[in-house]
Amino acid sequence: MREKLNIGTRGSALALTQTRQIAALLQRHYPAMRIEVVVIRTSGDIQKDVPLARIGGKGLFIKEIEEALLAGTVDLAVHSMKDLPAELPEGLRIAAVPLREDPRDVLISGTGLGIGELPAGARIGTGSLRRIVQLSSWRPDLEILPIRGNLDTRIRKVTSGDLDGIVVAAAGIRRMGWAGQVTQFIPAEKMLPAVGQGVLCLETRCGEEDLDAGLAFLEDERTRREVTAERAFLRRLGGGCSLPVAAFAEEREGSLTIRGLVGSLEKGKMIRHELQGKAADAADLGTELADALLDGGGRILLSALNSGQP
């Protein structure tokens, strides 16, 4: 393994926490290595006041980091997998996929009430089309408001009374040590997670076998297969990570079940499907699930979304 490693990351508190956790594991495994965390501002961090759906979420939080990786400014990039488009730039690869954190979404509410108990008209903040579609189907009487910003900024919207609650990813809350603020861990049966939610991605340049071999101890093979199925699903749907789609794969004893949905911004309109097969066929299962949803009406929903229809 190398004597020096530069790790690129976003500058948010969560991104830095995640990257420092990976850096600590590397330092423990390679005590003599000098590790530097390099903070890189991304387009998504700069355009904080614009809804992700309006500016297009594809690569917004990773583009500049990948450019630094390709330029050799950093040797390794640490991303949240759900920020990663289905297709990587030429010359880059996913070198390691660590064990998945909690993949669920959570509600943080000011009243301590769960989604099912919130009063009609309660104001819930989220910046995700995927969450908007599923929340609108579950509780069409809620007022769902767009919100962006770091986790602490979003939580302050609740504590200040600007919002009655927010829905965010459990993984980020857990990694920050804030699980005590969670009102409700939302079952995947009620709200399917984003593709890759709860998973970190360690991205490197192609052809650097020494580095990839040095990162191999961080790889979790089960998580890799699960996220391979989910990303194959996303790739078949067009590769964007701001679409109102969701997929979640779970492997048990060599069998893999993947559930997915395609939604519309028209309240309550979404199509769900699930498949089960061999975990070794993860990519094929993800693609097959996407095809089933597209053929079952998803193609019309996504076409309408792209043309500006509900």
- Segment 296-306, tens digit of pLDDT: 999 888 887 76
CB atoms within 10 A of CB 66: 24
Instruction: Dump pLDDT digits (tens) for 218-243.
Output: 999 999 999 999 999 999 998 665 67
Domain 105-186 sits in CATH at 3.40.190.10
Give me the pLDDT at residue 78, please: 97
User: Do 303 and 244 meet the contact criterion of CB atoms below 8 Å apart?
Assistant: no
Question: Do the domains spanning 4-99+196-219 and 105-186 agree at the CATH topology level?
Answer: yes
User: 79: closest CA among 180, 171, 170?
Assistant: 171
Residue-wise pLDDT for 87-134, tens only, equals 999 999 999 999 999 999 999 999 999 999 999 999 999 989 999 999
pLDDT band at residue 267 using 50, 70 and 90 as cut-offs: low
Helical segments of 90-208, H only: 129-138, 151-159, 170-175
Residue 33, both tokens: 């290595």
Q: How confident is the model at residue 43 (pLDDT cuts 50, 70, 90)?
A: low
Whether residue 185 is predicted with pLDDT greater than 80 in this model: the reply is yes
pTM, whole model, 2 decimals? 0.91
pLDDT band at 149 (very low <50, low <70, confident <90, very high): confident
Which range has the worst mean pLDDT, 78-82, 130-134, 256-260, 302-306?
302-306
pLDDT reported for residue 55 = 47
pLDDT digits (tens, 9 = 90+) for 2-16: 899 999 999 999 999
What residue ranges do the domains of the chain occupy? Answer: 4-99+196-219, 105-186, 221-310
Task: Please state the rounded mean pLDDT for residues 79-86.
Answer: 92
**DSSP type of residue 274:** E
Q: Which residues contact 184 (CB under 8 A, 6 or more apart)?
A: 106, 107, 109, 114, 115
Q: In the 3-class helix/strand/coil scheme, how is 150-184 assigned residue by residue?
A: CHHHHHHHHHCCCCCEEEEEHHHHHHCCCHHHCCE
Q: To which H or E segment does residue 123 belong?
A: strand 123-125
Pick the CATH number of 221-310 from 3.40.1010.10, 1.10.10.60, 3.40.50.300, 3.30.160.40: 3.30.160.40
Rg (CA), the chain: 19
To which CATH superfamily is domain 4-99+196-219 assigned? Periplasmic binding protein-like II (3.40.190.10)
**Catalytic residue numbers, as ranges:** 83
